[in-house]
């Protein structure tokens, strides 16, 4: 069901959904302060799945609109859909920064397609806006359970496909065009989901931070990404609360979403196909060794202090030399002056840069790109 707050001029925009989808629509036609409507009236319509708002009927833009968005995110489950025949780039960017991606605007002939996308299972996504150059640097096929997915062997007759990683911030347009032409030659559009397994040699080695930052990096390259908390640490619950992630819920399951990444708990079900599924398996103990080996890209996080190296050596002792060459060893929380010394102990180690924001991928984007390129090209 769809609740539509609208001006008289635009009150028929969503009516085609009745005929095509059989979707009931309830309208409020007139002039409204959206913040007051959300505070006083929206709770009466908690059973409605979608809340569509025509910007032309609002009298409290922008402050009231932003306040209403925060209220909806905090207290309600409705998916917010914004309709605007005309919208300034500044206001649209403010909406995108607040993770409102279901925006219907532009060419009138495209309105129906955009609306159908907005009420689909996934809605208009972060990636859709990214591919349309709408996001700037301001800021379903049901599958088995996670436990079954992570243990699914990689078929020998299905070679890993090459997936390009096009950076969005190349300064020289000529170089960008040349790079894109080269990458188009190796793109295979029909690729299987890629499993990235991130593990730690012990607790507090930056495993979860690395996994989530990598997920955000991939989302910002236009990839469809899922993060799976495949461990018993229960960090995800606190992260969801701290970042006030949006809950997505359908009959078959639920997940949380922010900035283009879908987050699943350990017992969750993957409800759609992704380009990448990142499994945060926690400490790499004997129970995790086999699932870890099934990853297309394997990242082992460790720490380098003298009293922490024994745990890392113990984990690495489980693998033969050729197996270790397939693992990306990442040492976190290392001062630059210590890197040369640690290289003598762990010659294949890479070192992350300081990035305390768990969602902040920019500092280590070259490192993430290197890991993924290594997987595309195969271990040399």
| 120 and 196 share one domain | no
Whether a cis peptide bond, with omega within 30° of 0, leads into 62 is yes
* Rounded average pLDDT over 279-285: 95
Torsion of CA 252, 154, 219, 104, to 10 degrees: -40
Residue with tokens 């607040």: 98
Total domains present in the chain: 2
Domain that holds residue 233: 146-377
Q: Are residues 298 and 263 in the same domain?
A: yes
**Residue that terminates a domain, selected from 131, 158, 173:** 131
Among 77, 104, 131, where does a domain finish? 131
The secondary structure of the chain in percent helix, strand, coil, rounded to multiples of 5, reads: 40, 20, 45
- Report yes or no on 317 lying in a domain: yes
Same structural domain for residues 172 and 28?
Answer: no
- Find the mean pLDDT for residues 300-316: 92
- Please give the full DSSP string across 185-203, using - where no structure is assigned: TT--SS-PPEEEEEEESSS
In the structure, what pLDDT confidence band is assigned to residue 191 with cuts at 50, 70 and 90? low
Partner residues linked to 161 by β-bridges? none
Residue 166 region, left (φ>0) first, then alpha (ψ -120 to 50), else beta? beta
Q: Kindly report the CATH number assigned to the domain that includes residue 237.
A: 3.40.50.300
- Pairwise pLDDT comparison (93 vs 157), residue with the higher score: 93
pLDDT higher than threshold 70 for residue 1:
yes
Asked if the structure places residue 136 within a domain, the reply is: no
Q: How far apart, in whole angstroms, are the C-alpha atoms of residue 44 and residue 7?
A: 21
Asked if the structure places residue 158 within a domain, the reply is yes
- Whether the pLDDT of residue 130 is over 50: the answer is yes
Statement to judge: residues 122 and 263 lie in one domain = no
Is the domain of 79 the same as that of 162?
A: no
Task: Show which of 107, 131, 155 is a domain's final residue.
Answer: 131
pTM for the complete prediction? 0.66
Query: The CATH number of the domain where 7 resides is what?
Result: 3.40.50.2300
């Amino acid at each position: 069901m769809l609740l539509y707050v609208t001006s008289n001029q635009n009150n028929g925009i969503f009516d085609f959904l009745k005929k095509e989808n059989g979707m009931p629509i309830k309208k409020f036609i007139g002039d409204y302060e959206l913040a007051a409507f959300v505070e006083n009236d929206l709770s009466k319509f908690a059973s409605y799945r979608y809340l569509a708002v025509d910007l032309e009927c609002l009298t409290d833009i922008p402050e009231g609109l932003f306040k209403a968005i925060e209220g909806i995110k905090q207290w309600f489950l409705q998916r917010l859909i914004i309709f605007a025949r005309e919208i300034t780039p500044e206001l649209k960017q403010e909406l995108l920064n607040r993770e409102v991606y279901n925006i219907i605007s532009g060419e009138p002939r495209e309105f129906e397609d955009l609306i159908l996308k907005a009420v689909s299972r996934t809605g208009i996504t972060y990636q859709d806006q990214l591919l349309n150059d709408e996001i700037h640097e301001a800021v379903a096929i049901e599958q088995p359970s996670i436990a079954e997915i992570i243990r699914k062997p990689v078929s020998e007759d299905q070679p890993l496909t090459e997936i390009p990683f096009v950076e969005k911030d190349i300064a020289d347009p000529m170089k960008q065009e040349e790079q894109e032409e080269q990458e188009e030659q190796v793109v295979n559009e029909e690729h299987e989901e890629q499993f990235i397994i991130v593990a730690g040699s012990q607790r507090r080695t930056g495993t979860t931070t690395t996994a989530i930052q990598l997920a955000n990096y991939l989302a910002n390259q236009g990839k469809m990404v899922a993060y799976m908390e495949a461990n018993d640490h229960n960090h995800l619950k606190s992260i969801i609360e701290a970042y006030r992630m949006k809950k997505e819920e359908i009959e078959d399951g639920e997940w949380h979403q922010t900035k283009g990444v879908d987050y699943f708990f350990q017992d969750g079900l993957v409800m759609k196909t992704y380009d990448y599924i990142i499994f945060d398996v926690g400490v790499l103990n004997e129970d995790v060794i086999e699932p870890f080996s099934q990853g297309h890209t394997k990242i082992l996080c460790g720490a380098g202090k003298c009293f922490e190296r024994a745990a890392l050596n113990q984990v690495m002792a489980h693998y033969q030399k050729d197996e270790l060459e397939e693992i990306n060893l990442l040492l976190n929380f290392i001062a630059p002056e210590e890197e040369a010394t640690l290289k003598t102990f762990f010659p294949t180690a890479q070192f992350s840069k300081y990035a305390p924001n768990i969602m902040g991928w920019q500092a280590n984007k070259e490192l993430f790109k290197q890991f993924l390129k290594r997987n595309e090209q195969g271990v040399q």
